Amino acid sequence: MIKLRLRIACDPALEPFVVRIAEKDPQCDEDAVVAAQVPTGLVYRTTQVTFRIEGISHSEIVGDVLLIDPRRQIAHRLIRSSSPHNTLLVTEQCDQLCIMCSQPPKARHEDMFRFFLAAVKLAPPSIQIGLSGGEPLLHKAALFRFIDAVFTSRDDLTFHILSNGQHLTRDDLPWLRQHRERLLWGVPIYAADPRSHDEIVSKPGAFEQLSNGLAILGRAGAALELRTVILIQNVQLLPQLADFISRHVSFAMTWAIMQMERIGFGRMNWAECFFDNSIDFSSIGTAIDLMRARQQDVQLYNFPLCTVPPAYRDVAALSISDWKQKYLPCCAKCGLRDHCGGFFAWYREEDGFRGIQPQ
């Protein structure tokens, strides 16, 4: 797995700070250049500070933007220059408790926006950066201020915001319209009937709030990606959900049908929730057929390609982020490997798909 946290050594009395690992000549005060190579790692210096990074080569992190935490002697790789999968965790707080949540919520919130702003200003040109949680819109005012500040100084960046879509109001319409070209909203919906959706997210009234949020995104002309994790609890409801989306949320750019991650609540509830689509694809296939017939875009995220019947493989995306992706030993001899997104790093063969078949 790609390391997102690096061991460092620097003065523990310093406040946290953001730097960019520079190729050669520094372009700004935040650029860190190699000052020395020592047996324990590489020593970097900016105009202000010196620090050492251990356990990784310069070429692996050049161009990366790091948040240095001197107290914990850790560097967080906030933005990796070579990756298309950069996501900033806005908060671990959430107002739902989804039964398959990969990042179970925490009560405490630490506002990181000042570091995120410093980091994003140093990002490579023209990239899309993810903003996720928890529920980012629990801190809506600060989030909107952060996005405004980024767009003031960088007109080449865009954001993908993962949100439960329940905290938008009509007052947000002007702001949403102002930024609609540069924001893509990823919003989960688990069923077309309120009771099933609310049960999956463990929040009464969630579906109704979500419907209001989707209506506001629609009125704003926002770019929307709907997301549905398939579970034992909702897989048979997918055709009904496809019908609902194509009738009532047809402005969505795409609908992502997703396999679950075996981590967080997903690991705890794996046996009760994981649906093995390698054995039965019928409900998913019917939902895709319906979307295609109505000329609505649909995609499959996190599905190993051999678990998808050939007629549907064209909608399977390489969706698993590089830092948490793996393949199985049997994949080495598979002709589909280059087109297959593989597995999450925490996937286990013993309770996973029964139909993995190298092609």
**To the nearest whole angstrom, how small is the minimum distance from the Cβ of residue 355 to ligand SF4?**
9
Number of H helices, E strands in the chain: 10, 16
**To the nearest whole angstrom, how small is the minimum distance from the Cβ of residue 262 to ligand SF4?**
15
Binding mask of the shown chain, residues 335 to 354, with x at each position contacting ligand SF4 by CB under 6 A: -xx--x-x------------
d(CA 62, CA 77): 11
Cβ-based nearer residue to ligand SF4, 61 or 334: 334
Cβ-based nearer residue to ligand SF4, 74 or 356: 356
Cβ-based nearer residue to ligand SF4, 138 or 340: 340
Strand pairing report for 158-162 and 183-188: parallel
Which residue from 331, 344, 347, 352 is in contact with ligand SF4, where contact means CB under 6 A? 331
Strands (DSSP E) contained in 28-83 are: 31-38, 41-45, 50-54, 65-69, 74-79
How big is the CA angle at 303 (ends 238 and 86), to the nearest 5 degrees?
110
**To the nearest whole angstrom, how small is the minimum distance from the Cβ of residue 346 to ligand SF4?**
15
Please provide the DSSP assignment of 224-259 as one string.
Answer: EEEEEE--TTTGGGHHHHHHHHHHH-TT-SEEEEEP
Binding segment for ligand SF4 (CB under 6 A), chosen from 21-29, 33-41, 57-65, 328-336, is 328-336
**To the nearest whole angstrom, how small is the minimum distance from the Cβ of residue 311 to ligand SF4?**
15
Question: If we measure between CA atoms, which residue out of 164, 94, 166 comes closest to residue 134?
Answer: 94
Task: Tell whether residue 327 is a contact of ligand SF4 (CB under 6 A).
Answer: yes
Cβ neighbors of 208 (< 8 A, separation 6 or more) are 194
Which residue from 38, 330, 351, 354 is in contact with ligand SF4, where contact means CB under 6 A? 330
Residues 267-326 that bind ligand SF4 (CB under 6 A): 304-306
Binding-site residue total for ligand SF4 (CB under 6 A)?
Answer: 15
Task: Tell whether residue 358 is a contact of ligand SF4 (CB under 6 A).
Answer: yes
Cβ-based nearer residue to ligand SF4, 121 or 337: 337
Question: If we measure between CA atoms, which residue out of 357, 355, 359 comes closest to residue 336?
Answer: 359
Q: Exposed/middle/buried for 207, CB within 10 Å: 0-12, 13-18, 19+?
A: buried
Q: In the structure encoding, which two tokens stand for residue 277, read together?
A: 């689509």
Cβ-based nearer residue to ligand SF4, 159 or 312: 312
Binding interface with ligand SF4 (CB under 6 A): 304-306, 327-328, 330-331, 334, 336-337, 340, 342, 356, 358-359
